[in-house]
Structures are given as C-alpha cells and as structure tokens.
C-alpha cells in the first residue's frame, strides 16, 4: 500500500482544513460576542413568491447597513443573518435554529402566510419576537394570532377595504355580479373569505370563485370560464407570479369585463410591463409617495440596487427601523420589553403622511393604504412609474383603524 504523502494530497488536505475552519469559525465567534445585536431574517427566495423575497433581502440589508453606519442600535452593531425560508417546514426549523443556535434577538420577514404561521409557532414557544413583513392572512391576526408576532404587512381586510372603497365609489360592487380567481393556498382562501364578507356587506355578490393552483402558468381555461360567466367585475385574489401571468393573458383575450385586485405586489405589475395592466389594485406603499423619509428610502435603495424599492422592500425597511427605534427607546433587546413598549401604542415613521402604530390587541400595524391604477403609456416617467397612486385610504379626516379588521370580524386573544 502506498502511504507516501504527495504534494497534491497535502494541498488537498490543506484546502479541506481551511474550508472546515472557514465554516466552523463564524459559529465560534457567534457564540462569544455580546456586543452585537443579531437579527434573523427569513423569506422565500425560490418558488412563486421568490421575486418578492429578493426585494425583502435587498431592503433588510440596506436597513441594517444604514443602522450600522449611524452607530448601530444602542451603540451595538447589528448583525444580519438572512436565509431562504423555502416552505413552512423549512421555515420552522430555520427559525428554531436562528433562535436557539445563533441567538437572534428577533426574526423579521416572511411572505407566505403558511410559512409565517410556522415561524409564529416557534416564536411563541421560544418567547422570541417575530415581525411579519409579508403575510396577509387575517387568520394570522385573528384565530392564529400570537403575542410574539407583530404585523407590518397589511392584513387582507386592509387590502380589501382599500380596494373596495375605490370600487364602491366607482359603483362596481353594489348590485353587481363578481367573479373571483383565488390562489389555492392559505393566503388566497383567507383573502376570498374577507373579500366575500366585504362584497356581501356592500350589496354585491360573488357568482363564482375559481381556485387556481399556485403553480398554474396558463390561464386560458379560467379566462374562458370568465367569458362564460359574464360577470360585472373580475376580482384577482391571486398571489405571486400568478398575478403576472393572469393579467398578461387576460389582456391577450381582450374580454370586456373590468378587473380589480384585492391583493397585489408592485413587482408583479413591473413584470407584466406597460400596457398589460388594467383595473384598480390595492397597495401598501409605492415609491412615488412624496414624504421626505419615503423619498430618502427610495433614493438610497435605487442608488444601491439600480431600481426603486417596491412594497415588499418597504415592509422590511419599516420593520427593521421600527424595531431599532423600539430598542433604543426601551434600552432593551428583550422581546417582552419590546412587546410591552409597542403595545402601549408607540408611533413609528412608516414612510407615509401619517405615522403608524401597532394595535395592542392583535399587533397589526395600523397605517394608511392606497389604491393604484395603471398610467397611460405617455405619462410614465420611466418603466417603474407604471401606476398612478390614489390619495391615502382612509382619508385624513378618518381614523386609521377603519380599514383594519374589527374585533368582531377577526377576534384575537393572546393566550
């Protein structure tokens, strides 16, 4: 048997050792330092929500870098650990690892309502704060609510009521027949439930609700069903890439029935491009909002990434900065201290006209919403300037809470 050590095997061994050391070292460092605040970030980077997750990651990196440039939080450096949450079971195990092995102070992120619920369960069990930036299901704020979960993302009710108010104003709900295309998973089902309640309360009726699998790419068969049903209004309760495919193909068939959405993400409109969009869509934030903090965010994001932020980027940025502010004000990174502080109604800059606050009984961020409609091609200043933003909903003379789900609609008790 040859046992002599050649130069090649020696090199291989050295490289291997270096690799192992490289992987091992951060773990050791992580366990020892206490002068950093570690923030865990989970969001889907693959699958039909991946396009939104990418914006989430860009934005949280920007927020953390900005905080560190300003000297960190309470003089402590912020360290970000951001990972792909993939699906509910992976999200759950990653959340557990982030909390128990990496010792993160809190977890921010997620987009899928199903994965959000999985993370919330871990957060509740380990008594660690989870700030949801992208899951819309009312159920997460209601039946599945959790003292350790806060919601920067708007609830489905908020999206429905924002869009619904505009549709009511335009006379498209009362006495009308609506048809819904609904994403066939937790978010879509929840959205349809809320939409149906709103439409029924306002004298309209859903004559059909077609559930669409999340991996559907061809909508022609659904569009033929719409043509057959002859509704007064087509409602998209779709999600992720489904929305892009649907609006492109709906345009292709040139049906006369107007469409509107109860759930939306700007990145998907950008993906469909000018000319494909039509109808009224809800929106939680758009980069044309002209408040100084909103424009500052848009400017620094665009400079760094070469394109403006969209609504998911807003979620991460607002969540990170709200938490940083709460930590500074409480002088603590302890989840229970932070929860107490935020439950007292602490106000935050949410890059809009009016400040936002977390509601104490369901932890929903109460803030303004908007609706948007496509701009004429000639009026767009660039490819991102696709949509015309409405005035804020609710109007300046109304309480912010009117668009949020009420206790009767969405009861939550923190056990």
Out of 77, 225, 325, 341, the residue judged to bind other proteins by CB under 8 A: 225
**In the set 18, 74, 143, 224, which binds other proteins (CB under 8 A)?**
224
Q: By rule CB under 8 A, what count of residues binds other proteins?
A: 44
Tell me whether residue 53 or residue 405 sits nearer to other proteins (CB atom): 53
Least distance (Å) between residue 321 CB and other proteins: 23
**Among 218, 303, 376, 397, which residue sits at the site for other proteins (rule: CB under 8 A)?**
218
In the complex, the smallest distance separating the C-beta of residue 45 from other proteins, rounded to whole angstroms, is 7
Q: Which is nearer to other proteins, 261 or 405 (CB)?
A: 261
Nearer Cβ to other proteins, position 36 or 380? 380
- CB within 8 A of 195, min separation 6: which ones? 156, 160, 164, 180, 206, 235, 237, 262
Q: Is the Cβ–Cβ distance between 360 and 343 less than 8 Å? A: yes
**Contacts (CB under 8 A) with other proteins, residues 22-61:** 45-48, 50-55
d(CA 91, CA 115): 6
Residue 230 contacts other proteins per CB under 8 A: no
Nearer residue to other proteins within complex by CB, 253 or 361: 253
Site for other proteins in 152-211 (CB under 8 A): 184, 210-211
Contacts (CB under 8 A) with other proteins, residues 275-304: 275-276
DSSP string computed for 29-84: HHHH--SEEEEEEEE--SGGGHHHHHHHHHHHHHHHHHHHHTT-BTTBEEEEEEEE
Choose between 223 and 365: whose C-beta lies nearer to other proteins. 223
Which CB atom, from 3 or from 254, has the smaller least distance to other proteins? 254
Stretch that binds other proteins, among 125-133, 263-271, 329-337, 361-369 (CB under 8 A): 263-271
- 165: which residues sit within 8 A by CB, 6+ positions away? 371, 393, 403
Q: Does 253 bind other proteins (CB under 8 A)?
A: yes
In the complex, least distance from residue 190 CB atom to other proteins, rounded to whole angstroms: 16
As given in the structure block, the two tokens for residue 157 are 């009710």
Is residue 217 near other proteins by the rule CB under 8 A?
Answer: yes
In angstroms, the CA 317 to CA 131 distance is 12
Positions of E strands within 110-156: 129-132, 149-151
Distance CA 257, CA 179 (A): 10
* Part in contact with other proteins (CB under 8 A); list of ranges 147-155, 190-198, 274-282, 288-296: 274-282
Only segment of 7-15, 19-27, 29-37, 248-256 that touches other proteins (CB under 8 A): 248-256
In the three-class reduction of DSSP (H, G, I as helix; E, B as strand; rest coil), residue 206 is classed as strand
If the CB atoms of residues 43 and 321 are measured against other proteins, the closer one turns out to be 43
Closer Cβ to other proteins, 262 or 270, answer by number: 270
- Residue 52 or 122: which CB sits closer to other proteins? 52
CB of 191 to other proteins, least distance (A): 15
The structure tokens listed for 65 are: 């870098």
User: Contacting other proteins (CB under 8 A), which of 221, 292, 376, 382?
Assistant: 221
Among 77, 176, 177, 248, binds other proteins (CB under 8 A): 248
Q: 130 or 192: whose CB is closer to other proteins?
A: 192
**CA–CA distances in Å: residue 407 to residues 87, 141, 240, 360:** 30, 10, 29, 12
Q: Does 227 bind other proteins (CB under 8 A)?
A: yes
Whole-angstrom distance, CA of residue 231 vs CA of residue 203:
15
In whole angstroms, give the CA distance from residue 398 to residue 330. Answer: 31
365 vs 342: CA distance, rounded Å: 10
Residue 299 neighbours by CB under 8 Å, 6+ apart:
none
Q: Which is nearer to other proteins, 120 or 216 (CB)?
A: 216
How far is the C-alpha of 372 from the C-alpha of 352, rounded, in Å?
16
**b vs e for 313-330, b when ≥16 Cβ sit within 10 Å of the residue's Cβ?**
bbbbbbbbbbbbbbbeeb
Quick one: which of 104, 160, 272, 283 contacts other proteins (CB under 8 A)? Answer: 272
Q: Which of 370, 324, 326 is nearest to 347 (CA)?
A: 326
- How far apart are the two ends of the chain, measured CA to CA in Å? 68
Considering only 273, 296, 329, 407, the residue that binds other proteins (CB under 8 A) is 273
Binding site for other proteins (CB under 8 A): 45-48, 50-55, 184, 210-213, 215-218, 220-222, 224-225, 227-228, 241, 244-245, 248-249, 252-254, 267-268, 270-276, 383
């Amino acid at each position: 048997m040859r046992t002599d050590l050649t130069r090649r095997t020696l090199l291989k061994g050295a490289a291997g050792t270096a690799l192992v050391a490289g992987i091992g070292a951060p773990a050791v460092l992580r366990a020892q330092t206490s002068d950093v605040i570690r923030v865990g970030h989970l969001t889907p980077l693959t699958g039909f929500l991946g396009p939104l997750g990418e914006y989430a990651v860009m934005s949280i990196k920007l927020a953390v870098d900005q905080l560190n440039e300003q000297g960190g939080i309470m003089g402590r450096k912020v360290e970000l650990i951001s990972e792909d949450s993939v699906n509910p079971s992976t999200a759950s195990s990653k959340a557990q690892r982030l909390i128990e092995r990496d010792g993160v102070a809190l977890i921010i992120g997620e987009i899928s309502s199903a994965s959000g619920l999985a993370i919330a369960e871990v957060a509740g069990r380990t008594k660690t704060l989870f700030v949801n930036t992208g899951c819309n299901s009312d159920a997460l704020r209601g039946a599945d609510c959790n003292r350790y979960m806060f919601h920067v993302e708007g609830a489905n009710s908020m999206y429905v009521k924002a869009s619904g108010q505009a549709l009511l104003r335009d006379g498209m709900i009362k006495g009308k027949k609506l048809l819904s295309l609904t994403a066939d998973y937790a978010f879509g089902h929840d959205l349809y439930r809320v939409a149906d309640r709103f439409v029924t309360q306002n004298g309209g009726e859903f004559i059909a609700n077609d559930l669409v699998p999340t991996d559907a790419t061809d909508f022609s068969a659904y569009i033929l069903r719409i043509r057959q049903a002859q509704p007064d209004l087509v409602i998209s309760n779709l999600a992720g890439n489904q929305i892009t495919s649907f609006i492109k193909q709906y345009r292709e068939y040139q049906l006369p029935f107007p469409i509107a959405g109860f759930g939306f993400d700007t990145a998907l409109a950008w993906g469909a491009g000018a000319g494909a969009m039509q109808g009224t869509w809800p929106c939680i934030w758009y980069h044309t909002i002209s408040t100084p903090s909103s424009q500052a965010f848009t400017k620094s994001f665009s400079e760094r990434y070469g394109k403006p932020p969209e609504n998911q980027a807003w979620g991460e940025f607002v969540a990170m900065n709200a938490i940083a502010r709460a930590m500074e004000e409480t002088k603590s990174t302890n989840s229970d201290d932070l929860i107490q502080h935020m439950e007292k109604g602490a106000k935050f800059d949410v890059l809009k006209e009016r400040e936002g606050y977390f509601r104490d009984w369901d932890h929903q961020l109460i803030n303004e919403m908007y609706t948007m409609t496509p701009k004429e091609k000639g009026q767009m200043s660039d490819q991102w300037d696709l949509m015309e933003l409405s005035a804020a909903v609710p109007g300046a003379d109304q309480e912010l809470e009117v668009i949020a789900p009420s206790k009767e609609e969405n009861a939550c008790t923190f056990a």
